[in-house]
Amino acid sequence: MIENLPTYISLTFGMTTVATLLLFIWTIKNSKSEKARKKTAYISLGLIVWLLFQGVLTLNNMYNTDTNSFPPKIVLLGILPMVMAIIVLFTTSKGKQFIDSLPLENLTYVNVVRIPVEIVLFWLYVNKAIPELMTFEGRNFDILAGISSPFIAYFGLTKVRFNRKIILTWNLICLGLLFNIVLNALFSAPSPIQKFAFEQPNIAILNFPFSWLPTFIVPIILFGHLVSIRRLISFKTELNK
Protein backbone atom coordinates (compact mmCIF):
# COMPACT_ATOMS: atom_id res chain seq x y z
CA MET A 1 0.00 0.00 0.00
CA ILE A 2 1.10 3.57 -0.63
CA GLU A 3 2.38 5.24 2.51
CA ASN A 4 0.74 8.45 3.77
CA LEU A 5 -2.01 8.27 1.16
CA PRO A 6 -5.29 9.75 2.44
CA THR A 7 -7.78 6.99 3.20
CA TYR A 8 -10.57 8.60 1.21
CA ILE A 9 -8.67 8.04 -2.04
CA SER A 10 -8.43 4.27 -1.53
CA LEU A 11 -12.04 4.10 -0.33
CA THR A 12 -13.31 6.05 -3.33
CA PHE A 13 -11.43 3.80 -5.70
CA GLY A 14 -12.64 0.69 -3.89
CA MET A 15 -16.24 1.86 -4.22
CA THR A 16 -15.64 2.63 -7.90
CA THR A 17 -14.42 -0.92 -8.44
CA VAL A 18 -17.52 -2.30 -6.71
CA ALA A 19 -19.70 -0.02 -8.85
CA THR A 20 -18.03 -1.37 -11.98
CA LEU A 21 -18.74 -4.92 -10.85
CA LEU A 22 -22.38 -4.17 -10.04
CA LEU A 23 -22.98 -2.34 -13.32
CA PHE A 24 -21.52 -5.24 -15.28
CA ILE A 25 -23.65 -7.75 -13.35
CA TRP A 26 -26.67 -5.51 -14.05
CA THR A 27 -25.81 -5.69 -17.74
CA ILE A 28 -25.74 -9.49 -17.72
CA LYS A 29 -29.02 -9.66 -15.79
CA ASN A 30 -30.62 -7.64 -18.59
CA SER A 31 -29.31 -9.95 -21.31
CA LYS A 32 -31.73 -11.00 -24.05
CA SER A 33 -30.59 -14.59 -23.52
CA GLU A 34 -32.12 -16.61 -20.72
CA LYS A 35 -29.00 -18.81 -20.69
CA ALA A 36 -26.81 -15.77 -20.10
CA ARG A 37 -29.09 -14.48 -17.34
CA LYS A 38 -28.94 -17.85 -15.59
CA LYS A 39 -25.14 -17.63 -15.57
CA THR A 40 -25.13 -14.26 -13.80
CA ALA A 41 -24.38 -15.78 -10.39
CA TYR A 42 -21.49 -17.87 -11.71
CA ILE A 43 -19.99 -14.95 -13.62
CA SER A 44 -20.39 -12.70 -10.59
CA LEU A 45 -18.65 -15.25 -8.37
CA GLY A 46 -15.83 -15.62 -10.90
CA LEU A 47 -15.26 -11.87 -11.04
CA ILE A 48 -15.32 -11.55 -7.25
CA VAL A 49 -12.77 -14.35 -6.95
CA TRP A 50 -10.64 -12.59 -9.57
CA LEU A 51 -10.77 -9.32 -7.61
CA LEU A 52 -9.85 -11.10 -4.39
CA PHE A 53 -7.00 -12.91 -6.15
CA GLN A 54 -5.62 -9.63 -7.47
CA GLY A 55 -6.04 -8.06 -4.05
CA VAL A 56 -4.06 -10.86 -2.39
CA LEU A 57 -1.28 -10.63 -4.98
CA THR A 58 -1.03 -6.87 -4.57
CA LEU A 59 -1.14 -6.89 -0.77
CA ASN A 60 1.65 -9.47 -0.80
CA ASN A 61 3.77 -7.06 -2.86
CA MET A 62 3.77 -9.22 -5.97
CA TYR A 63 3.63 -6.22 -8.29
CA ASN A 64 5.60 -3.50 -6.52
CA THR A 65 8.76 -5.55 -5.93
CA ASP A 66 11.23 -6.71 -8.56
CA THR A 67 10.00 -4.10 -11.03
CA ASN A 68 12.82 -5.08 -13.40
CA SER A 69 11.16 -8.37 -14.33
CA PHE A 70 10.05 -8.77 -17.94
CA PRO A 71 7.27 -8.95 -18.81
CA PRO A 72 6.06 -6.88 -15.85
CA LYS A 73 4.32 -9.13 -13.33
CA ILE A 74 1.12 -7.10 -13.41
CA VAL A 75 0.92 -7.66 -17.16
CA LEU A 76 1.59 -11.38 -16.88
CA LEU A 77 -0.61 -12.14 -13.86
CA GLY A 78 -3.21 -9.37 -13.97
CA ILE A 79 -3.78 -8.00 -17.45
CA LEU A 80 -3.01 -10.90 -19.80
CA PRO A 81 -5.57 -13.33 -18.26
CA MET A 82 -8.37 -10.77 -18.76
CA VAL A 83 -7.27 -10.10 -22.32
CA MET A 84 -7.24 -13.83 -23.02
CA ALA A 85 -10.75 -14.16 -21.57
CA ILE A 86 -11.99 -11.42 -23.91
CA ILE A 87 -10.33 -13.13 -26.89
CA VAL A 88 -12.02 -16.43 -26.00
CA LEU A 89 -15.42 -14.74 -25.83
CA PHE A 90 -14.93 -13.17 -29.25
CA THR A 91 -13.61 -16.30 -30.96
CA THR A 92 -15.90 -19.08 -29.68
CA SER A 93 -19.50 -19.73 -30.68
CA LYS A 94 -20.80 -19.69 -27.10
CA GLY A 95 -18.81 -16.55 -26.39
CA LYS A 96 -20.28 -14.79 -29.41
CA GLN A 97 -23.79 -15.82 -28.37
CA PHE A 98 -23.13 -14.34 -24.94
CA ILE A 99 -21.75 -11.00 -26.14
CA ASP A 100 -24.48 -10.63 -28.77
CA SER A 101 -27.13 -10.98 -26.06
CA LEU A 102 -25.86 -8.09 -23.93
CA PRO A 103 -27.84 -4.82 -24.09
CA LEU A 104 -25.68 -2.04 -25.49
CA GLU A 105 -27.33 0.68 -23.42
CA ASN A 106 -26.32 -1.10 -20.22
CA LEU A 107 -22.75 -1.60 -21.45
CA THR A 108 -22.62 2.08 -22.33
CA TYR A 109 -23.79 3.15 -18.88
CA VAL A 110 -20.87 1.19 -17.35
CA ASN A 111 -18.59 3.92 -18.70
CA VAL A 112 -19.80 6.37 -16.03
CA VAL A 113 -17.23 4.80 -13.68
CA ARG A 114 -14.58 6.58 -15.73
CA ILE A 115 -15.58 9.83 -13.97
CA PRO A 116 -14.62 8.76 -10.42
CA VAL A 117 -11.59 6.92 -11.83
CA GLU A 118 -10.30 10.19 -13.30
CA ILE A 119 -10.95 12.04 -10.05
CA VAL A 120 -8.99 9.39 -8.15
CA LEU A 121 -6.14 9.64 -10.65
CA PHE A 122 -5.98 13.37 -10.05
CA TRP A 123 -5.86 12.82 -6.28
CA LEU A 124 -3.08 10.27 -6.79
CA TYR A 125 -1.12 12.80 -8.82
CA VAL A 126 -1.51 15.41 -6.07
CA ASN A 127 -0.14 12.82 -3.63
CA LYS A 128 2.78 11.99 -5.94
CA ALA A 129 1.68 8.45 -6.75
CA ILE A 130 1.29 8.93 -10.51
CA PRO A 131 2.64 11.47 -13.04
CA GLU A 132 0.62 14.46 -14.21
CA LEU A 133 0.38 13.03 -17.74
CA MET A 134 -2.05 10.39 -16.41
CA THR A 135 -4.56 13.04 -15.34
CA PHE A 136 -6.96 15.36 -17.16
CA GLU A 137 -4.38 18.10 -16.59
CA GLY A 138 -1.94 16.07 -18.66
CA ARG A 139 -2.56 13.66 -21.55
CA ASN A 140 -5.62 11.90 -20.19
CA PHE A 141 -9.01 12.98 -21.55
CA ASP A 142 -10.82 9.79 -20.58
CA ILE A 143 -13.19 11.68 -18.30
CA LEU A 144 -14.98 12.92 -21.44
CA ALA A 145 -16.04 9.33 -22.17
CA GLY A 146 -17.52 9.01 -18.70
CA ILE A 147 -19.40 12.31 -18.87
CA SER A 148 -20.86 11.62 -22.32
CA SER A 149 -21.79 7.97 -21.76
CA PRO A 150 -25.22 8.54 -20.10
CA PHE A 151 -26.27 10.80 -22.99
CA ILE A 152 -25.20 8.23 -25.59
CA ALA A 153 -26.91 5.43 -23.67
CA TYR A 154 -30.19 7.30 -23.14
CA PHE A 155 -30.62 9.37 -26.27
CA GLY A 156 -28.76 7.08 -28.64
CA LEU A 157 -29.78 3.61 -27.50
CA THR A 158 -32.90 3.98 -25.36
CA LYS A 159 -34.66 6.80 -27.20
CA VAL A 160 -32.90 6.07 -30.54
CA ARG A 161 -32.33 9.76 -31.28
CA PHE A 162 -28.84 9.16 -32.74
CA ASN A 163 -28.06 7.06 -35.76
CA ARG A 164 -25.78 4.04 -35.71
CA LYS A 165 -22.77 5.90 -37.12
CA ILE A 166 -22.79 8.45 -34.29
CA ILE A 167 -22.84 5.74 -31.62
CA LEU A 168 -20.15 3.75 -33.44
CA THR A 169 -17.98 6.85 -33.76
CA TRP A 170 -18.42 7.57 -30.05
CA ASN A 171 -17.31 4.05 -29.17
CA LEU A 172 -14.26 4.28 -31.44
CA ILE A 173 -13.24 7.65 -29.96
CA CYS A 174 -13.71 6.41 -26.39
CA LEU A 175 -11.75 3.26 -27.20
CA GLY A 176 -8.95 5.50 -28.45
CA LEU A 177 -9.09 7.50 -25.20
CA LEU A 178 -8.84 4.25 -23.26
CA PHE A 179 -5.82 3.06 -25.23
CA ASN A 180 -4.21 6.46 -24.71
CA ILE A 181 -4.32 6.30 -20.93
CA VAL A 182 -3.43 2.59 -20.86
CA LEU A 183 -0.27 3.19 -22.89
CA ASN A 184 0.68 6.25 -20.84
CA ALA A 185 0.12 4.31 -17.61
CA LEU A 186 2.10 1.32 -18.85
CA PHE A 187 5.08 3.30 -20.12
CA SER A 188 5.26 5.46 -16.99
CA ALA A 189 5.20 2.55 -14.51
CA PRO A 190 8.50 1.26 -13.07
CA SER A 191 9.54 -1.58 -15.39
CA PRO A 192 12.06 -2.40 -18.13
CA ILE A 193 9.68 -0.82 -20.66
CA GLN A 194 9.27 2.50 -18.84
CA LYS A 195 9.67 5.34 -21.36
CA PHE A 196 8.83 8.50 -19.43
CA ALA A 197 7.78 10.03 -16.07
CA PHE A 198 11.02 8.89 -14.42
CA GLU A 199 10.85 11.83 -12.01
CA GLN A 200 7.41 10.66 -10.79
CA PRO A 201 6.63 7.16 -12.05
CA ASN A 202 3.25 5.51 -11.95
CA ILE A 203 3.57 3.52 -8.74
CA ALA A 204 -0.14 3.52 -7.87
CA ILE A 205 -1.21 0.65 -10.15
CA LEU A 206 1.36 -1.61 -8.48
CA ASN A 207 -0.27 -1.08 -5.08
CA PHE A 208 -3.59 -2.01 -3.48
CA PRO A 209 -6.36 -1.23 -4.33
CA PHE A 210 -5.29 0.59 -7.49
CA SER A 211 -4.05 -2.59 -9.18
CA TRP A 212 -7.74 -3.24 -9.82
CA LEU A 213 -7.68 -0.48 -12.42
CA PRO A 214 -5.60 -2.32 -15.06
CA THR A 215 -6.65 -5.82 -13.96
CA PHE A 216 -10.42 -5.28 -13.75
CA ILE A 217 -11.91 -1.88 -14.55
CA VAL A 218 -10.00 -1.28 -17.79
CA PRO A 219 -10.72 -4.80 -19.16
CA ILE A 220 -14.45 -4.36 -18.40
CA ILE A 221 -14.52 -1.01 -20.22
CA LEU A 222 -12.50 -2.47 -23.10
CA PHE A 223 -14.87 -5.42 -23.34
CA GLY A 224 -17.89 -3.10 -23.47
CA HIS A 225 -16.48 -1.04 -26.32
CA LEU A 226 -15.43 -4.10 -28.32
CA VAL A 227 -18.87 -5.67 -27.92
CA SER A 228 -20.57 -2.42 -28.95
CA ILE A 229 -18.32 -1.94 -31.97
CA ARG A 230 -18.83 -5.53 -33.12
CA ARG A 231 -22.59 -5.26 -32.79
CA LEU A 232 -22.85 -1.85 -34.42
CA ILE A 233 -20.72 -2.90 -37.38
CA SER A 234 -22.53 -6.21 -37.84
CA PHE A 235 -25.96 -4.52 -37.34
CA LYS A 236 -26.83 -6.86 -34.48
CA THR A 237 -28.50 -4.17 -32.43
CA GLU A 238 -32.01 -2.99 -31.68
CA LEU A 239 -31.41 0.37 -33.34
CA ASN A 240 -34.12 1.32 -35.77
CA LYS A 241 -32.12 3.87 -37.72
Given its phi and psi angles, is residue 128 left (phi above 0), alpha (psi -120 to 50 degrees) or beta?
A: left
Contacts of 147 (CB under 8 A, 6+ apart): 115
Residue 236: the pLDDT is 52
Residue 238: the pLDDT is 52
Query: Is the pLDDT reported for residue 87 higher than 90?
Result: yes
Q: pLDDT band for position 60 (50/70/90)? A: very high
Is residue 2 assigned to a domain? no
Residue 239: the pLDDT is 58
Q: Could you list the residue range(s) of the whole structural domain that residue 84 is in? A: 7-234
Query: Is the pLDDT reported for residue 18 higher than 50?
Result: yes
Is residue 105 assigned to a domain? yes
Q: In Å, how far are 56, 205, 214, 218 from 80, measured between CA atoms?
A: 17, 15, 10, 12
CA 80 to chain centre: 14
| pLDDT tens per residue across span 94-132 | 999 999 999 999 999 999 999 999 999 999 999 999 999
Is residue 102 assigned to a domain? yes
Query: Is the pLDDT reported for residue 11 higher than 70?
Result: yes
62 vs 121: CA distance, rounded Å = 22
38 vs 146: CA distance, rounded Å = 29
Is residue 197 assigned to a domain? yes
Is residue 241 assigned to a domain? no
Is residue 239 assigned to a domain? no
Is residue 240 assigned to a domain? no
Q: What is the pTM of this model?
A: 0.93
Nearest partner of 117 among 227, 22, 218, judged by Cα: 218
Q: pLDDT band for position 241 (50/70/90)? A: very low
Query: How many domains does the chain contain in total?
Result: 1
| pLDDT tens per residue across span 134-169 | 998 888 899 999 999 999 999 988 887 888 899 999
| pLDDT tens per residue across span 179-237 | 999 998 888 888 888 888 778 888 899 999 999 999 999 999 999 999 999 999 986 55
